[in-house]
Amino acid sequence: MMFNTHSHLQDSVFDGKRDELIQDVKQLGMKVLLVGYTPEMNRAAIALAEQHDHFVVAVGIHPNHADDWEPQLQIVRELARHEKVVAIGECGLDYHWDTVDKHTQQAAFVAQLELATELQLPIVVHMRKAMEDTYAILSSTYQGPGVMHCYSGDAEYAKKFIELGLHLGIGGPVTFKNATELQSIVATTDLRHLLVETDDPYLAPTPFRGQQNIVTHVQYVIEHIALIKQLDVATVTKATTTNAMQVFGGES
């Protein structure tokens, strides 16, 4: 059984195709973490998970939507009590888009780490062009499990995040020809520290690069990890699912 640890299947871009995708998820016996990022998408993820056993949910405030994080945090706190919510996120820092200033992003991130600690939930971290600050905040604020979703940092920091007890989320970019650093991180990192994900509708793996990504494409990520690590697909599937269960709970 595969465990896709980062999907936005609740997003409105999938309206009209969602039922078909859910059928595919069920057919594959996949487990999926639906990740929220705004109040609306947090609620939509929960609504979807209420209908289907295959889904669990992370609720959080994405750094690019963190302008009014204080009222949002109240909503996240309430939603986090729902039985299908197993994590806080995605939260983190994104210095690529300058829609929200750094200090506001940092305050929202710290507040969500404190909430995760209080509720004893793991975290889903979004990090883009903010490796040092993300590490500094995590290492001083948070001691617990979680995932560096779609890890895009370097090899040195990969080790440092793992030392903090976090997993590396590996997604579609691992299949890209030019992703040599990420591929070498995957090659040299013990499988027990890796999780698999899609981040659909974004970051479709090769051979779908540039197209809308879908939840079941996690298969291509698993296949590519197997290729890099010279393991069979079943071994990678089983290990990454076991890891995901350790972080987010559930039974295989």
Point out which residues bind Zn ion (CB under 5 A).
199
Decide: 119 and 80 in contact? Cβ < 8 Å: yes
Nearest distance from C-beta of residue 6 to Zn ion, angstroms: 6
- Position 128, amino acid: R
Minimum CB distance to Zn ion, residue 97 (Å): 13
**Which residue number places its CB atom closest to Zn ion?**
199
Of 92 and 145, CB closest to Zn ion: 92
Q: To the nearest whole angstrom, how small is the minimum distance from the Cβ of residue 170 to Zn ion?
A: 14
Among candidate residues 216, 215, 217, the one with its CA nearest the CA of residue 205: 217
Residue 175 or 229: the one with the smaller Cβ distance to Zn ion is: 175
Bond from prior residue into 207 cis (ω within 30 degrees of 0): yes
The tokens for 166 are 């976090």
- For residues 121 and 229, which CB has a smaller minimum distance to Zn ion in the complex? 121
Handedness of CA 237, 215, 244, 136 (dihedral sign): positive
Query: Shortest Cβ distance from residue 235 to Zn ion (Å)?
Result: 27
Distance from C-alpha of 17 to C-alpha of 56, rounded to nearest angstrom? 20
Cβ distance to Zn ion smaller for residue 7 or 240: 7
The least distance separating Zn ion from the CB of residue 203, rounded to whole angstroms, comes to 9
Residue ranges of alpha helices (H) inside 57-203 are 69-79, 102-119, 131-141, 155-163, 180-188
Task: Return the number of the residue (94 or 199) whose C-beta is nearest Zn ion.
Answer: 199
